[in-house]
Amino acid sequence: MNKIQVKIAQKKKIKFPDIFSSEILFFCILQKNSKMKQDILNTITEILKKYSFEKKTLANIKPEMKLIEDIKINSARIVDIVLDVEETFDIEIDDDSLENLITINDLIKIIENKNK
Note the pLDDT tens digit of each residue in 28-80: 555 556 678 889 999 999 999 998 887 788 888 999 999 999 998 888 899 99
Q: Is the pLDDT of residue 21 over 70?
A: no
Percent of the chain with pLDDT over 90: 43
Alpha-carbon span 104 to 116, nearest angstrom:
19
- pTM for this entry: 0.70
Q: What average pLDDT does the chain have?
A: 80
Residues 52, 71 contacting (CB under 8 angstroms): yes
The contacts of residue 57 (CB under 8 Å, 6+ apart) are 65, 70, 71, 72
Q: Determine the pLDDT at residue 18.
A: 46
Average pLDDT over residues 93-105: 92
Q: Determine the pLDDT at residue 63.
A: 93
Alpha-carbon span 107 to 115, nearest angstrom:
12
Alpha-carbon span 79 to 76, nearest angstrom:
6
Q: In the 8-state DSSP scheme, what is residue 115?
A: T
Please tell me the least confidently modeled range out of 13-22, 58-67, 82-91, 103-112: 13-22
The full length of the chain comes to: 116
- Which of 51, 54, 56, 1 has its CA nearest to residue 29? 1
CA of residue 27 relative to chain centroid, distance = 19
